[in-house]
A and B are shown apart, each in its own frame.
Chain A
Amino acid sequence: MSHIGEPVKAIDSLDVLIACGLIAVVMGLSAWRRLGLAKDLAVGTVRTVIQLLIMGYVILFLFDQNRAPLTVAIILVMVLFAGWTALRKCQCRRLEVYPITMISIFVGSGVTLAYVMQLVVRPDSWSNPQYLIPLAGMIVGNAMNGTALAIERLESEVCSNRAAIEVRLSLGATRLQAAAEAVRRAVGAALIPPINAMMVVGLVFLPGMMTGQILAGTPPVIAARYQMVVMLMLPAATALSVLLAVFFFVPRLFTPAHQLREEIREEL
């Protein structure tokens, strides 16, 4: 009498509506304690429902079509959004740095995705959307978070350490040498979340993908193996994207003549 392999019980729109009751509770708390979160909660709920609804249909459509160019196009759209979102907290001119984050996330995610698809999962078709889309979603999302952290941290490290950086420059360091320590800290900060996740996964939390697979009836050991692959690919995708982004971003803080840019020097 095993429950393993039982197909997942479908939930319908009414069930989702009932789930919204949970948010209603939070909104009630917010109103009571005057937390001022009602609006964000409402917007967040609506966006969640609409975005996931659309995504559900998009993936359904992709599965139906099963055409490689279409699947790849969807992943590219993800990358375009990720590059932009990564700069949400950046002090810099967003449009100018966008190519850096976008291309870094594209390359970092692309290499990792290719590795996992071709060497680890090896589905019958390299473009099978059933594998490609979920893996890409996780990889791009993590690469985006890492890149955002790294850019933000690099900016603040260079600003707050500009005296030491100018000392290094004045001793003959190139801009990359002068920024090496700031780069190290920024990359470190960006890699802490996926590394921490590797430490506590399965102990403190059950990751969403594994949970989902188990819900869908996958044998837990297979689900666990998939989760291992995911946990291992995320630091790789993050590290690749972050290193590229930082490498391209450093020259934006300095001039080609290895000088700190005026905006950085003047920043108080």
Chain B
Amino acid sequence: MFQVSGIVFRGVSLPAPAARNPEGPAPRAWILRDIDLEIPLGTVFTILGPSGSGKTSLLRLINRLTDPQSGEILFAGKPLQSFEPTQLRRRIGYIFQVPTMLPGTVADNLAYGANLGQSGRHLLPDRAEMLRRLRDVALDETYLNRSAERLSVGEQQRVSIARSLMTSPEVLLMDEPTSALDPAATTRLLALITKLHERHGLTIVFVTHQLEQARAVGEQTAILIEGRIVETGTTAEVFSSPRQPETRRFLEGRLGEETESEEQEESQ
């Protein structure tokens, strides 16, 4: 028996919700099917796949925003179910595709997670800690008292990363964090992700449908197509010598021909 650390999927399946399966010819019954995957701690791990392939659903399983129907997911050698969900989510942060700011200032947003542990009391948040986290995402202290909802989307996404960092997570799950950003903001955010990983040794699971992004940030890559992991390996290997024909077709941009009709899956 070899030692497993990191995040391990064993035979994980997730059915499509009933609401999304209206009668129709051959409705797709599974979002994720028999997923086996090992995400080592301390890496930047990319999950790459076309829209509707189940990437978001896979990511949500890791911090238990959703539970699979069958199979098992391990974190640090123990099943996810053995952790208290609220504690697990503080150790495994989640960055949503479109940032959502909580009401109030940037400081209120940063303080939210930190205050949760304090038996409901609204304590004064640790200002030094908030500033440190803002610096991590390349924002300065003038942001603290600004209204979070009035920031640009790019700034909001960085605040949402800083907000997650406030709970000192070991893993950060990122669901296409650049999808709402313009090219300049995208470049800055990708650089920031790499820096976060290097500075804090943070494990980052990065979901994207963009080949360039996977190539830019990921040390390892898994290819997810129609709810199945078709290939995993180091990013260099996967891109230069894919073993599966499906991967090859996806990398060459020819996969879309028959799966384009299943776009709605990623939109929440």
Residues of A within 8 A of B (CB): 163-164, 166-174, 177, 181, 255, 257-260, 262-263, 265-266
Pick the residue among B17, B117, B164 that contacts A262 (CB under 8 A).
B17
Is the Cβ of B90 less than 8 Å from the Cβ of A168? no
Stretch at the interface among B33-41, B63-71, B204-212: B63-71
State the CA gap A171–B167 with chains docked (Å): 7
Contacts of B160 in A (CB 8 A): 167
- Given A166-B96, A171-B164, A266-B20, 14 additional A-B pairs, CB 8 A: A163-B98, A163-B100, A164-B102, A167-B96, A167-B102, A170-B93, A170-B94, A171-B116, A171-B163, A172-B113, A173-B112, A255-B67, A262-B17, A266-B19
Of all chain A residues, which has the CB nearest B64? A257
CB pair A168–B102 under 8 Å, yes or no, is: yes
Q: How large is the interface on B (under 10, 10 to 19, 20 to 34, 35 or more residues)?
A: 20 to 34
Given A163-B96, A167-B100, check contact A172 B19 (CB 8 Å).
no
A173 engages B96 (CB within 8 Å): no
User: Chain A contacts of B112 at CB under 8 A?
Assistant: 168, 171, 173
Residue B5 interfacial (CB < 8 Å): no
Asked if B234 is an interface residue, CB under 8 A from chain A, the answer is no
How distant is A173 from chain B, measured CB to nearest CB, in Å? 6
> Closest A-chain residue to B66, C-beta based?
A259
Complex Cα distance, B18 from A255, in Å, reads: 17
Q: Across the interface, do B19 and A164 meet the contact criterion of CB distance under 8 Å? A: no
Within 8 A of A (CB), among B203-251: none
Check A259–B100 contact: CB distance below 8 A.
no
CB closest residue in chain B, given A180: B120
A258/B86 in contact, CB under 8 A: yes
B89 in contact (CB, < 8 A): yes
Q: B73-115: which have CB < 8 Å to A? A: 85-87, 89-90, 93-94, 96, 98, 100, 102-103, 112-113
Assess the B65–A173 pair: CB atoms within 8 A.
no
A262 to B90, CA, bound (A): 22
Q: How far is the CA of A173 from the CA of B84 in the complex (A)?
A: 11
Inter-chain contact A172/B64, CB cutoff 8 Å: no
Cβ B96 vs Cβ A171 within 8 A: no
Q: Which residues of B contact A174 (CB under 8 A)?
A: 86
Name which residue of chain A comes closest to B117, CB basis. A172
Complex CA gap A169/B60 in Å reads 12
List chain B residues, Cβ under 8 A from A173: 86, 112, 116
Q: A164-B102, A171-B112, A266-B20 are in contact. Are A259 and B90 (CB under 8 A)?
A: no
Give the chain B neighbours of A263 by CB distance below 8 A. Answer: 19
| Smallest Cβ-Cβ distance to A171: which chain B residue | B113
Q: Per-residue 0/1 for B133-152: is the Cβ within 8 Å of any A Cβ (1 yes, 0 no)?
A: 00000000000000000000
Nearest residue, chain A, Cβ from B90: A172
- Interface contact B87-A172, CB-CB below 8 Å: yes
Determine if A166 and B65 form an interchain contact, defined as CB atoms under 8 angstroms apart: yes
The 8 Å CB contact of B67, one of A164, A167, A168, A259, is A259
What is the minimal beta-carbon distance from B60 to any residue of chain A, in angstroms?
9
Cβ-defined contact, B102 with A172, below 8 A = no
Question: Is there an interface contact between A259 and B64, defined as CB atoms closer than 8 Å?
Answer: yes
Q: For residue A258, which residue of chain B has the nearest CB?
A: B85
Contacts of B89 in A (CB 8 A): 169-172
Query: What's the minimum C-beta distance from A84 to chain B, rounded to whole angstroms?
Result: 27
Taken together as a complex, chains A and B put the C-alpha atoms of A265 and B17 apart, in Å, by 10
**A residues near B167, Cβ cutoff 8 Å:** 171-172
Q: Which residue, of B96, B98, B100, B167, has the highest number of chain A Cβ atoms within 10 A?
A: B100
Chain B 1-60 residues near chain A, CB threshold 8 A: 17-20
